[in-house]
Structure 1
Amino acid sequence: MSAPHPAFRIEGPARVSFSGGRTSAFMLHEILRAHGGSLPDDIVVVFANTGKELPETLRFVHECATRWNVRVRWVEWRRGKPGFEEVGFNSASRDGQPFADLMAWKQRTPNWTERWCTSFLKVLPMHALMRELGYGEPGAYVETIGLRDDEGLRIIRGRVRADREGRQVAYPLARAKVTKADVLRFWAGQPFDLGLEPWEGNCDLCFATGRGVRLARLRRRPEIARWWAVEEAKYGFFDRRDRVPSLMAEAHRSPDMLEPASDEFDVECGDGCGYAEAAE
């Protein structure tokens, strides 16, 4: 293996966002290599759990931390100060509780006009952890995000948003010209892997994904529909296109359709949903 690219030599204080996907895991691996296998104390690796991550995602985060001997701090959103609870592989929610608590507080679902689930369940708990650790507000440290070179539009949008909000962001994968093919090549040579199809994503039935992707997820894991249907019945619709029960019925009617081709929805639910709405 060649020497790590200089882009992965991160200067602290910094927060490395680990979404639980292959791309951000590859970024973490290369950052570790660039630092000789051990991170400085002022580089904090964080995974934010919504309670709706697939089991494979949780296992993968745990396995990366164990195999690579790196501390990954797990956080979940909580209402009130400090805004998060630190959990671990064994204690992390697997029943959607943080997400359900957020909707109970807001008395509505995130939806096609208000995509604030990423902001509250992913971004804000990570900021809160850094604040609690003494690193101050966003902008006082570098947010290291796993967007690849072939995700140019998302990088542009991320930089514009960060500049507007006074935050520091770094995209070492993009700077190192890493593409999806490079990431897949890396994982093909590893003794372990995420174990999910690219279209399965992290959040098990994310309403921001395409209709074909959601149908494919329901065909593979019909049991995931119940939680979404229950929450939808309480607070309103996630998706203006389809209700969860109707999607489930369609998945039952056409169980043998081809699975969709889709890019991996890796970086914090796409790193683009509703960040500004978290201020409300």
Structure 2
Amino acid sequence: MRDQPVNSVAVALTRAASSTRAVPESAICGAPAYMSPEHSALPHIVKFSGGRSSAAMVLSLARCGTLDPGRGDLVLFANTTAEHPATYDFAGQVCDELESQHAIPCLWYEFCTVEESTRSGWSRRPSYRLVRRQRATSVDNPTTPGYSYDGCAFEELASIKRMLPNRSLRFCTQNLKVLPGIKLISEWLGGGLGPTAAGHHHGRPLTSADETASRYNGSRWEAREVAEIATFVHSRPWMRPAQDWADFTVVSRRCSSRARPSADLAGLTGPPVQYVTLLGLRSDEAERVNRAHFEAMLADGANGGRCRHESHPVGEIIATPLADAGADIDRVDDFWRCQSYDLAIDRALGNCVYCFMKGEPALRRLASAEQDNPNAASAGPAGIHWWADIEARYAGPSDAPDVQQFKFLTLRSPSYAEIAAGTAVAGRRDGVSLPCACSD
């Protein structure tokens, strides 16, 4: 169980202390409004999305002394491998300042799959790997790889799921960021030297696309189609070597050994290990702030198999310093006008340029602008043709009588190839932009 609710006077005093604490001019916010005074002593985990808001938050927290490496605090950047190229440069600059000037450790990680033994044989299972803040190359050591930027993790997810994330089932953030992040946090708080090995050491893959197809009993797919879509995930590494925190952050962490590889965040064996998650949600994003707190509340008090929200372990406590400080998008922009660097991406593009949540009209405008600007960074995931290719290969069949496909948008929406070619029909009902939660 989490801490029992404290009386309202104590909560009010804690919130007042948080809001009145001196914040330097170079910061936009200070300590969050903790729901309980004891929460200030827990490890703080910052979810850094690579955007301006979360970057302004984490730099402010470091500059005003809210973050404390001795407490076990950590900054995480989840690389979907489909970010805009400028995002990696910007995130690198932010993490360099955090580590060199404030001694706050920063770790980058990516979704991956590994082979594990199950009752039905060997299967691919989701995992994660730490990556350095340098671009991956073909000669990287598998133990200390650089970050990928070609969309491979995104495609690996589509290949193992046998479908695309879409506006009706947006599982990309959950699988590429949230769930791998929970595994990482568990190992970080466990007190070991780093993530333990995942997968097996047989020296060769023990699964195949054909084997995956032979196990499929559904009605929508032919075995040949299943094997074709599963090919990519089975071409990926089948294991992740043990990794050391020290190889991925210049900030040292006092760890005893690998004897305690993970912390119990779900309360499986007793009271859950608690920590504070800091999200870069602003005061003008009240709906997202409320949803984050509500989802965490669903898990509050649950333990073991009764955890009611897989995105929020029982031991997680949500805090939103920007919203607590009343910082909106204008204040974030003001913050970056005073810095020596900024994210070199227009707000209309965002880190995930052709995210399907933007809706068809916005995607058509972006595709048109890309075509009109020969200097646009259109290679790889920053260009619509990469998205169109992924959609063409992983769009799944439906049970509809007219053989529609599940694409990035809705069932009967145009494909990204049609949008890229300018043949998509404007004015569709499903073309509106939907709220994104990629920083949750």
Q: TM-score range by the shorter chain?
A: 0.7 to 0.9
* 122-131 vs 71-80, greater mean Cα deviation: 71-80
- Read off the aligned partner of 1:30 and give its amino acid letter: S
| Pick aligned residue for 1:239 from 386, 409, 417 | 409
- Tell me the distance in 1 between the aligned counterparts of 2:26 and 2:92: 26
Instruction: Point out where structure 1 has 5 or more consecutive residues left out of the alignment.
Output: 253-261, 272-280
Residue 35 of structure 1, CA deviation = 1.3
The aligned counterpart of 1:207 is 356
Q: Pick closer, same or farther for the CA change 1:210–1:11 going to 2, 3 Å.
A: farther
- Tell me the distance in 2 between the aligned counterparts of 1:232 and 1:163: 36
The aligned counterpart of 1:120 is 175
Give the 3-state SS of the residue equivalent to 1:153 in structure 2: helix
Tell me, yes or no, if structure 1 residue 31 matches structure 2 residue 31.
no
* 145-154 vs 62-71, greater mean Cα deviation: 62-71
Question: Does the 8 Å CA contact 1:18/1:45 hold for their aligned counterparts?
Answer: yes
Question: Does the 8 Å CA contact 1:56/1:195 hold for their aligned counterparts?
Answer: yes
Residue 116 of structure 1, CA deviation = 0.4
Residue 37 of structure 1, CA deviation = 7.9
Question: Does the 8 Å CA contact 1:56/1:196 hold for their aligned counterparts?
Answer: yes
Give the 3-state SS of the residue equivalent to 1:7 in structure 2: coil
- Read off the aligned partner of 1:147 and give its amino acid letter: L
1:179-217 CA deviation, whole Å, 9 max, x = no partner? 111110010111100011111111121111132332333
Q: Pick closer, same or farther for the CA change 1:207–1:136 going to 2, 3 Å.
A: same
- Read off the aligned partner of 2:96 and give its amino acid letter: T
Tell me, yes or no, if structure 1 residue 157 matches structure 2 residue 306.
no
- Read off the aligned partner of 2:388 and give its amino acid letter: A
Tell me, yes or no, if structure 1 residue 72 matches structure 2 residue 106.
yes
Tell me, yes or no, if structure 1 residue 198 matches structure 2 residue 347.
yes
1:143-190 CA deviation, whole Å, 9 max, x = no partner? 110001111111111111111133410001111111111110010111
Q: Pick closer, same or farther for the CA change 1:152–1:229 going to 2, 3 Å.
A: same
Question: Does the 8 Å CA contact 1:109/1:238 hold for their aligned counterparts?
Answer: yes
Residue 231 of structure 1, CA deviation = 1.6
Q: TM-score, normalised by structure 2?
A: 0.55
* 29-38 vs 162-171, greater mean Cα deviation: 29-38
Q: Pick closer, same or farther for the CA change 1:120–1:36 going to 2, 3 Å.
A: closer
Q: Which has the higher contact order (CA 8 A, sep 6+)?
A: 1
| Pick aligned residue for 1:168 from 294, 298, 317 | 317
* 208-217 vs 147-156, greater mean Cα deviation: 208-217
- Read off the aligned partner of 1:246 and give its amino acid letter: E
* 204-213 vs 58-67, greater mean Cα deviation: 204-213
1:217-267 CA deviation, whole Å, 9 max, x = no partner? 322345412221222112211112321111111299xxxxxxxxx9996xx
- Tell me the distance in 2 between the aligned counterparts of 1:6 and 1:15: 15
Identity, % of aligned positions: 32
Q: Which has the larger radius of gyration?
A: 2
- Tell me the distance in 1 between the aligned counterparts of 2:438 and 2:366: 16
Question: Does the 8 Å CA contact 2:282/2:326 hold for their aligned counterparts?
Answer: yes
Residue 36 of structure 1, CA deviation = 7.3
Q: Pick closer, same or farther for the CA change 1:17–1:209 going to 2, 3 Å.
A: same
- Read off the aligned partner of 1:269 and give its amino acid letter: C
Q: Pick closer, same or farther for the CA change 1:264–1:92 going to 2, 3 Å.
A: farther
- Tell me the distance in 2 between the aligned counterparts of 1:193 and 1:264: 24
Q: TM-score, normalised by structure 1?
A: 0.84
- Read off the aligned partner of 2:360 and give its amino acid letter: R
Q: Pick closer, same or farther for the CA change 1:102–1:177 going to 2, 3 Å.
A: same
Instruction: Point out where structure 2 has 5 or more consecutive residues left out of the alignment.
Output: 1-23, 34-39, 115-124, 135-145, 191-262, 267-271, 301-315, 371-375, 396-406, 425-432
Give the 3-state SS of the residue equivalent to 1:83 in structure 2: strand
- Tell me the distance in 1 between the aligned counterparts of 2:54 and 2:352: 15
* 133-142 vs 157-166, greater mean Cα deviation: 133-142
| Pick aligned residue for 2:385 from 226, 229, 236 | 226
- Tell me the distance in 1 between the aligned counterparts of 2:327 and 2:422: 38
Q: Pick closer, same or farther for the CA change 1:36–1:172 going to 2, 3 Å.
A: closer
Question: Does the 8 Å CA contact 2:31/2:66 hold for their aligned counterparts?
Answer: no
Residue 41 of structure 1, CA deviation = 4.6
Give the 3-state SS of the residue equivalent to 1:137 in structure 2: coil
- Considering only aligned residues, what root-mean-square deviation do their CA atoms show, in Å? 2.8
The aligned counterpart of 1:7 is 31
- Tell me the distance in 2 between the aligned counterparts of 1:162 and 1:150: 20
Question: Does the 8 Å CA contact 1:14/1:143 hold for their aligned counterparts?
Answer: yes
Tell me, yes or no, if structure 1 residue 269 matches structure 2 residue 313.
no
**How many aligned positions are there?**
262
Question: Does the 8 Å CA contact 1:103/1:235 hold for their aligned counterparts?
Answer: yes
Q: Pick closer, same or farther for the CA change 1:234–1:184 going to 2, 3 Å.
A: same
